Amino acid sequence: MITLSEENYLKAIYHLGKQGVAAVSTNAIAEKIESKASSVTDMVKKLADKNLANYVKYQGVSLTNEGRLAAALVIRKHRLWEVFLVEKLNFSWDEVHDVAEQLEHIKSLKLVNELDAFLGFPTHDPHGDPIPDKDGKYAPNKSVNILDLEIGSEGILSLVKDSSDVFLKYLNKNNLALGDVIKVLEFEPFDDSVTIQTKERQIIISKEVAKNLYLSL
């Protein structure tokens, strides 16, 4: 049995490990999970005992296949619940995360798979993140960051990397939503801000904002 706390650590390691890093550092986990390094050391030993993580003192952590699958299944639940909340219960995309953080720990294989079917087997959550299948697999992401595009290129907003409610509320305020067609008009060298064309008008977005917007072409 994997505890709620263990699931949260697995998720953190999974996300941090995705950046192509071989081993995740104790401090990085502590920061992500908003705890202290000493707590992480304790937990990481437990995960290693349970064959969920590989851990060598002073050399960071990685997930075993078993740990990676467990993490992916938690993320699968998180994202399916987010879809449920938005599609069925009138939540907006900036309200779902905290509730999904709770719902992702509900243990019932039947529940998650029936929920998946009920929602029509969605492939992405309300923020554009992919939903892993029963085996923890998902199609590789093809969208590209706005800052990596050429001037004049056009695409559909299909992923926002930051899902914090403050960022999502900024997007709401500026009438930006997943699925919108966006065209890159200009890069400003001074502050790396970007002028983009949205459906109804053109706006300037800061580098910090641009970093979090991904388009599919």
Partner DNA sequence: ATTTATTTTTAGTCTTGCCTAAAAAAATAT
Partner DNA sequence: ATATTTTTTTAGGCAAGACTAAAAATAAAT
Would you tell me which residues interact with DNA (CB under 7 A)? 3-6, 8, 25-28, 34-44, 46, 55, 57-60
The full length of the chain comes to: 217
User: Residue 145 binds which entry of Mn ion, a second copy, DNA, none, with Cβ cut-offs from 5 to 8 Å by kind?
Assistant: none
Is 141 or 195 the residue whose CB approaches Mn ion more closely? Answer: 141
User: Residue 127 binds which entry of DNA, Mn ion, a second copy, none, with Cβ cut-offs from 5 to 8 Å by kind?
Assistant: Mn ion
What tokens were used for 192?
A: 């790396």
The answer to whether 89 and 124 are in contact (CB under 8 A) is no
Angle between helices 109-118 and 65-88 (to 10 degrees): 50
Looking at 21, 56, 106, 147, which residue binds a second copy (CB under 8 A)?
Answer: 106
Closest separation in Å from C-beta 34 to DNA: 7
Distances, alpha carbon 28 to alpha carbons 14, 19, 69, in Å: 12, 12, 21
Closest separation in Å from C-beta 128 to Mn ion: 8
Is 2 or 115 the residue whose CB approaches DNA more closely? Answer: 2
Is 70 or 215 the residue whose CB approaches DNA more closely? Answer: 70
Nearest one of 85, 118, 195, 193 to 151, comparing CA atoms: 195
User: Residue 65 binds which entry of DNA, a second copy, Mn ion, none, with Cβ cut-offs from 5 to 8 Å by kind?
Assistant: none
Is 106 or 147 the residue whose CB approaches DNA more closely? Answer: 106
Closest separation in Å from C-beta 130 to DNA: 27
